[in-house]
């Protein structure tokens, strides 16, 4: 699809109500093609719900969502999303390589004309030697790297990432965000990233939307004007701390309101 046809993801007045609880107050959100937008918020604030609404896994109670002018359901059909769930959700009976290929193997009609080379991607995340291993033989960080490759393997224009590194230890988390930034860098991929980690939000994003606690609403949006490509050294930059601090204040103001 030529960039001219791409309007990005537009969510207007989107809310979600489960039975008697409001999970999400009406939210407006846009993600331009190639832009990395992070939803930052406390646990249970509805940020995952918003991601699931965008992915068409759940219908919104109000509002509209379009993906390059298309409905979420139609976008799913045409494999416009590379989803990275919180748990790696690898299939234990498939090898690493077969897991990385999973999304390529399903809904073949939705595949792009040229699929990325999975072996090449595995090599880029340092798993070339583990192609024939099974998921239970991998560490948590390695499993989630397979999850990343699996999402990148269908060359979707949008990646939806639901706290993918939440279950990892601090050092592995840092490695993973550095890796993810490198993977995203040369592409024109739009990313919706959900996290409650300030460092992840600042390091990866072009823009961060901070959500209040339930029912979630956007209490503020912060542009991250750090140079690209992002390199780990940027985390020592005073500008990095300044944005982190700004986000923390927004987060606490949202939690107390």
Closest distance of CB 214 from another protein, Å: 21
Cα–Cα distance measured from residue 214 to residue 254, given in angstroms and rounded to the nearest whole number: 10
1, 13, 64, 106: residue in contact with another protein (rule CB under 8 A): 106
What is the rounded distance in angstroms from the CA atom of residue 93 to the CA atom of residue 218?
Answer: 41
How far CA 230 is from CA of 35, 72, 181, 203, 225, in Å, comes to 14, 30, 7, 7, 11
Among 23, 160, 180, 218, binds another protein (CB under 8 A): 160
Residue 55 interacts with another protein (CB under 8 A)? Answer: yes
The nearest distance, CB 207 to another protein, in angstroms, is: 23
Q: Is 102 in the site for another protein (CB under 8 A)?
A: yes
Neighbours of 209 (CB within 10 A): 25
- Binding flag, residue 242, another protein (CB under 8 A): no
Q: Compute the least distance from the CB of residue 3 to another protein, in Å.
A: 23
Please give the angle made by the CA atoms of 81, 83 and 87, to the nearest 5 degrees: 175
Instruction: Bin 202: left if φ > 0, else alpha if -120 < ψ < 50, else beta.
Output: alpha
* 187 touching another protein, by CB under 8 A: no
Interacting residues toward another protein by CB under 8 A: 52, 55-57, 73, 76-77, 79, 81, 83, 85-87, 89, 91-93, 102-103, 105-107, 110, 134-136, 154, 160
């Amino acid at each position: 699809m030529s960039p001219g046809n791409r309007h990005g993801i537009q969510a207007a007045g989107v809310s979600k109500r489960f039975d008697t609880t409001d999970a999400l107050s009406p939210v407006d959100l846009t993600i331009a093609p190639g832009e990395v937008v992070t939803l930052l918020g406390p646990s249970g604030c509805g940020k995952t719900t918003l991601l699931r609404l965008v992915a068409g896994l759940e219908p919104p109670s109000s509002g509209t969502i379009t993906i390059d002018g298309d409905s979420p359901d139609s976008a799913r059909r045409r494999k416009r999303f590379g989803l990275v769930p919180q748990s790696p959700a690898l299939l234990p009976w498939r090898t690493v390589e077969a897991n990385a290929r999973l999304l390529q193997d399903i809904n073949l009609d939705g595949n792009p004309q040229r699929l990325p080379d999975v072996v090449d991607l595995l090599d880029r995340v340092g798993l070339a030697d583990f192609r024939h291993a099974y998921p239970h033989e991998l560490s948590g960080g390695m499993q989630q790297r397979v999850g990343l490759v699996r999402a990148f393997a269908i060359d979707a224009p949008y990646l939806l990432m639901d706290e993918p590194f939440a279950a990892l230890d601090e050092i592995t988390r840092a490695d993973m965000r550095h890796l993810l930034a490198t993977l995203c860098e040369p592409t024109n991929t739009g990313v919706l990233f959900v996290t409650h980690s300030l460092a992840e939000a600042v390091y990866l994003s072009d823009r961060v939307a901070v959500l209040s606690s339930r029912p979630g609403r956007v209490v503020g949006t912060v542009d991250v004007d750090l140079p690209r490509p992002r390199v780990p050294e940027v985390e020592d930059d005073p500008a990095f701390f300044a944005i982190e601090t700004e986000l923390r204040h927004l987060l606490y103001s949202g939690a107390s309101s």
